Amino acid sequence: MKWVGRSGSGKVIDRRVSGGALSGIGIIILVIYTLISGDPRLLLTNLFNSGTTTAVTPQEEQISEFVSVVLNDTETIWTTVLREYDIAYDPVSLVLYKNNTQSDCGLASSNVGPFYCSLDETIYLDLAFFQELQNRFGAPGDFAMAYVIAHEVGHHVQNELGILDEFYRLRQQLNQSDANELSVRLELQADYLAGVYAFHVQDMGYLEAGDIEEALTAASAVGDDKIQMETQGQVYPDSFTHGTAQQRSRWLMKGFEAGDLSDMDTFSTTSLHN
């Protein structure tokens, strides 16, 4: 994707620790800690240790700039697309963190992976995930990352459209396996919305050769069947919550072909493969 030098979003909240310097909050904590324990050296060691291990690398800095440009594009795109439906888009916030951080939906940590919290209308993104996407899931490339962000923004769009509330309401009445199937439909729709985003990136002239393939590879790589096969050696379709590799790439492509909300109904369709 063409992104270098382009404007970023004002909705990125950077919670990564950069270096070992004591911040204002750090000093307040230090004072309180000293009052309680009487020994400031202990905490100083802790602060500087964590500062060293979570320092921001130049490569991470570049990725965070990229994330900001992608988020900015989603703001432009969803404002335009939703205006067609007389809906004013209220942009989502995105927290960048390392290791773990607090969200209104609970603790965000590297093992959870990127997610959208509807309670604080914020996406939580651990930059280490992008390394994982490349190394563990075998989905390299900038547009693989853009797909992941666009999928999470897709959940926010679902929230804006009232679909998430309806999903939470319906899910309460279902048994586990039906609730999982409903979750698959929600997730495939977020993939579709990521496809709509990709259509508009192309429309704006920022898509490069191979970008769509990178997104499709990423969508397949995070398919439930693929992940279960790799981690457990077999698949358990009843436990799927996000859809198979084939379904995820299919719905991403459907959104990319449509470029609007016209084909987004994953909830009433009988075959999720079509």
Count of residues engaged in binding Zn ion, rule: CB under 5 A: 2
Taking the complex as a whole, how short is the minimal distance between the CB of residue 114 and Zn ion, in angstroms? Answer: 8
Shorter beta-carbon distance to Zn ion: residue 190 or 218: 190
CA–CA gap between residue 203 and residue 183 (Å, rounded): 30
Whose Cβ is closer to Zn ion: residue 153's or residue 261's?
153
CB of 152 to Zn ion, least distance (A): 7
For the segment 77-116, give every residue that binds Zn ion (CB under 5 A).
none
Q: How far is the CB of 229 from Zn ion (least distance, A)?
A: 20
Nearest residue to 252 (alpha-carbon basis) of 158, 159, 157, 187: 187
For residue 52, give Cα distances in angstroms to 26, 58, 206.
Answer: 15, 14, 37
Q: How far is the CB of 18 from Zn ion (least distance, A)?
A: 29
Q: Which is nearer to Zn ion, 98 or 185 (CB)?
A: 185
Q: Which is nearer to Zn ion, 142 or 187 (by Cβ)? A: 187
Residue 190 or 201: the one with the smaller Cβ distance to Zn ion is: 190
Q: Sheet harboring 115-117: ordered strands across? A: 12-14, 93-97, 122-126, 115-117
Per-residue exposure over 12-23, b if at least 16 CB sit within 10 Å of its own CB, e if not: beeebbeebeee
Q: Which of residues 179-238 bind Zn ion (CB under 5 A)?
A: 187, 190
Q: Toward Zn ion, which CB reaches closer, 68 or 159?
A: 159
Q: Work out how close the CB of 155 gets to Zn ion at its nearest, in angstroms, rounded to a whole number.
A: 6
Number of helical H runs and strand E runs in the chain? 10, 6
Min CB(273)–Zn ion separation in Å: 19
Mention every residue, 6+ apart, whose C-beta is less than 8 A from residue 45.
none
Give the closest residue to 160 by CA, choosing from 259, 109, 239, 91.
91
Cα gap 158→255, rounded to integer Å: 14
Strands 12-14, 115-117: pairing kind? unpaired
- By residue count, the chain amounts to 274
Shortest spacing between CB 241 and Zn ion, in angstroms: 9
The number of angstroms, rounded, from the C-alpha of 218 to the middle of its chain's C-alpha atoms is: 13
Q: Nearer Cβ to Zn ion, position 38 or 162?
A: 162
Integer CA distances (angstroms), 232 to 61, 95, 112, 202, 219, in order: 35, 31, 18, 38, 20
Q: Which residues bind Zn ion (CB under 5 A)?
A: 187, 190
